[in-house]
Amino acid sequence: NAGVTQTPKFRVLKTGQSMTLLCAQDMNHEYMYWYRQDPGMGLRLIHYSVGEGTTAKGEVPDGYNVSRLKKQNFLLGLESAAPSQTSVYFCASSSYPGLVSSYNEQFFGPGTRLTVL
Amino acid sequence: GQQVMQIPQYQHVQEGEDFTTYCNSSTTLSNIQWYKQRPGGHPVFLIQLVKSGEVKKQKRLTFQFGEAKKNSSLHITATQTTDVGTYFCAGYNNAGNMLTFGGGTRLMVKP
């Protein structure tokens, strides 16, 4: 099993350009997440999905859109990139989370390093 | 909203010394998870604590969950260079669908 994969690994954009980051998981997980990580800061949740066809806002959703058309894929879109969106983006997936009795770790992809000039 | 804070932000230790990172939440947590991120890598799950006052050990790593379920700690005994990385704690919100991460503690070990 590949686990969680992300494409691309690196990308440089100019301000105002758009792009889509792709996340794929082969663990049949219901929940998927997009985080951004900035230097000296933890991971901040952008958007998440609790199942195919559903999406929800996280802590920092502005400037991003997401789609979950297939259970195994979660796409993150930037419609008009800004320098403030320069960051490392991580996708993660998990089985049903938050259940106290469940062993519900999140599995992370390798990340996408995005620079917006 | 829920806030999770970690201290210290950075820690330099000599190989063989002990290391501790502390995690505090603004709200009571249903459970807490710890992750490790090696330099240039992605976060990897270490452990989950669920019960009030729970203590779990993984070799040289000891994890504790506070009695009030609002704080946690990770203690590493006799650090090794392989322990280098950033350690994050994370707690779920009441709805159980969002994990809030602390800012992490970056551990550097001098050989």
Half-sphere exposure (Cβ direction) of A27: Cα atoms closer than 13 Å: 21
Interface test with A, best of B27, B37, B97 (most A CBs within 10 A): B97
Asked if A108 and B88 come within 8 Å (Cβ–Cβ), the reply is: no
Confidence band (pLDDT; 50, 70, 90) for B108?
Answer: very high
pLDDT in tens, A75-86: 999 999 999 999
Helix (H, G, I), strand (E, B) or coil at B101: strand
Which whole number is the average pLDDT over A80-98? 91
pLDDT averaged over every residue in chain A: 92
Per-residue tokens: A94: 């998990």
CA distances from B57 to A100, B3, B35, B50 (A): 19, 26, 14, 14
**Confidence (pLDDT) at B29:** 87
pLDDT in tens, B11-32: 999 999 999 999 999 999 888 9
Residue A100 has pLDDT above 80, yes or no: no
CA distances from A55 to A4, A10, A117, B34 (A): 18, 25, 29, 25
Q: Pick A111's closest partner by Cβ from B6, B33, B42.
A: B42
Asked if B42 and A108 come within 8 Å (Cβ–Cβ), the reply is: yes
Judge contact between B47 and B75, C-beta under 8 A: no
pLDDT in tens, A24-55: 999 999 999 999 999 877 899 999 999 999 99
Helix (H, G, I), strand (E, B) or coil at B83: helix
